[in-house]
Every structure is written in structure tokens, then in C-alpha cells.
Amino acid sequence: QQQVKQSPQSLIVQKGGISIINCAYENTAFDYFPWYQQFPGKGPALLIAIRPDVSEKKEGRFTISFNKSAKQFSLHIMDSQPGDSATYFCAAATSGTYKYIFGTGTRLKVLA
């Protein structure tokens, strides 16, 4: 029940295309859903986050879509660029607790 399932494991997108990464969870107590971007040799960096009281949040080219009834959320990267090539992790947390539950990651490669 504590797991966050992430798909796909890897993704190849042409420059200018849309990258879509999906996550699903079981624990309805989760109320904070961040996405992290990780480059090789670096730690994860917060990209964008959402709470279940909204269905969508957009920041620049990055959008989170959230479906509370389906217990799913996804990251959309519009106009994908080679510099977006990285590993992306979704995560979930519960207010009042102190840990994130991370997905297994998606390795994105954007072809020039």
C-alpha cells in the first residue's frame, strides 16, 4: 500500500515532442505528489509538485495531471529538449510524516 508504481521504465522522444510519465498509488492518505529530476552523478532536484485538491498544475513546459479517483498522476513535458534527458522520479508523501515514497524512475532520452 506504500508503493508508488511508475511507468514507463524508459522513454525515447524526439526533440519538440511530448514526454509523458505515469504514476499510480494505493494509499489514499498521500496528499503531496512531487516530481524529481535527476542527472547522472547528481541528486534529485524538485521539478514540480501537486496536492490532490487540484487536477492540474503547470510550470513552464512541465505539467502535472492528477486523477484522484483513479489514484494516478502524470508528468507531461511539452516541447521536450535534449537537455531534458534525465531520470524522472515521482514521489508521494503524507502531511505530518517525514518521508517520500519514490517510484522506480523513468529514464528519458530526448533525441536532437
Partner 1 sequence: DAGVTQSPTHLIKTRGQQVTLRCSPKSGHDTVSWYQQALGQGPQFIFQYYEEEERQRGNFPDRFSGHQFPNYSSELNVNALLLGDSALYLCASSLVGGAGSNYGYTFGSGTRLTVV
By the criterion CB under 8 A, which residues form the site for partner 1?
6, 31-32, 34, 36, 41-46, 49, 89, 91, 93-105
Nearer to partner 1 by C-beta: 34 or 85?
34
Q: Whole-number minimum distance, CB 1 to partner 1, in Å? A: 14
Q: Whole-number minimum distance, CB 16 to partner 1, in Å? A: 28
SS3 82: helix
Q: Is the torsion defined by CA of 93, 5, 23, 11 positive or negative?
A: positive
Are 86 and 108 contacting, i.e. CB atoms less than 8 angstroms apart?
Answer: yes
State the Cα–Cα distance between residues 98 and 108, nearest whole angstrom.
28
Nearer to partner 1 by C-beta: 17 or 74?
74
